[in-house]
Amino acid sequence: MTGKQTPVDRDTPRRTGRHSAKTVSAAAMETALDAAQLARLRALANRPLAVGNRETRNRLWLAPMLGLGHVAFRAVLEEYGGCGLMVSEMCSALALPSENPATSPVFTFTRDELPRLSCQLVGAQPEEFTAAAQRVQREGFFGVDINMGCSVSGICGKGRGADLLRDPDRAEAVVRAVRDSVSIPVTVKFRTGWSTDPAPAVAMAQRLEQAGADALVFHPRVAPDKRSRPPVWDHIRLVTGAVSIPVIGNGNVCTPADALRMFEETGCAGIAMGRMAIARPWIYAHMTGSEPGLPADYLHYALRLMDELETRYPDPIRAVKLYKKIAVYIAANHAFGLRLQGPLIRGATMDHMRENARENLTPDKQTTERPNALMFTS
């Protein structure tokens, strides 16, 4: 890592150590499958995956998330291990050519993570992406990811994100422009579209492949759906069968059993996890069978994250704000998560947050196999 030395809280184990102890929640994740099923999952997940002219070390990726998948979280995620490829927060293609990583709220990274990090770009017109993609390549990122999934009004209202799915010609032109601009892998994150019919998504996948995309990350929900309905995994199967490039499935993988089922039922080449990675960053290590570099423990996770946020974000108000967004996901793992959320985020300083974590993330707090999805609101 670059930057100043990360502070280590005096009550937490140092991050250089290895930890064999597992919490009840971690053990439950592994025993959800029998030994044969767990072996099948790990055989599927641990295969390297060729993406264009590069390769990821396994097939479990981090999905891009604005305000959550930032450089501080990614640093902690790397310590747990097991993630094959990370993706940055959503970056404006128009702004990125002149962004300063030292001050940008989203285009921030460490040099050490770049070989395992793609940069996600959002924009409306093909010409907006060219200089941005070239900047991403010069910085040394693994690849460029194009956002065709964000459906918030502030993005779609400007013709960006999922709005591109309304105009297949423009979407194809965007991918072609990026492909012509760089030699690094080009991936696209997209949704089913603006109707429940999967046919447009299948056709879109084929056009994106023809335009030069090296892999697709497919979230089988209609664009306006804010996770109010479950994703239709069968649509992943349809998209996978329609193209020859890797299709990475995304949506509602919360447990090893879910991951095995997505692999086997859809034939997808890999799985991208977003909010589950925020809630339980050790999920990759447990699914791949690698030894986590940190203990699967919510208190330890919260304290390590706070250390990284203070290191990466000198503005203490911003650091606390970013921590509170993730604290909601930590609370969601608990049987009484809604009741726990308030005490966890009460106060305005990181010292308050540390006190809250020590008082509330105690071993007696009952955890659940699946987090409370109603709390996944960011």
Which of the residues are catalytic? 150
Q: How far is CA 366 from the centre of its chain?
A: 26
The residues near 23 (Cβ < 8 Å, ≥ 6 apart) are 295, 296, 297, 298, 363, 367
* Under 8 Å between Cβ of 192 and 232: yes
Helix or strand (DSSP H, E) at 336: none
- How much is the CA Rg of the chain, to the nearest whole Å? 20
Q: How far is CA 22 from the centre of its chain?
A: 23
Q: Closest by alpha carbon to 279, among 236, 341, 350?
A: 341
* Under 8 Å between Cβ of 353 and 311: no
Over 140-174, what HEC string results? Answer: CCCEEEEEECCCCHHHHCCCCHHHHHHCHHHHHHH
SS3 255: coil
Please give the Cα distance from 319 to 350 (Å, whole number).
8
Phi, psi of 106, rounded to the nearest 5 degrees: -130, -35
Phi, psi of 43, rounded to the nearest 5 degrees: -65, -40
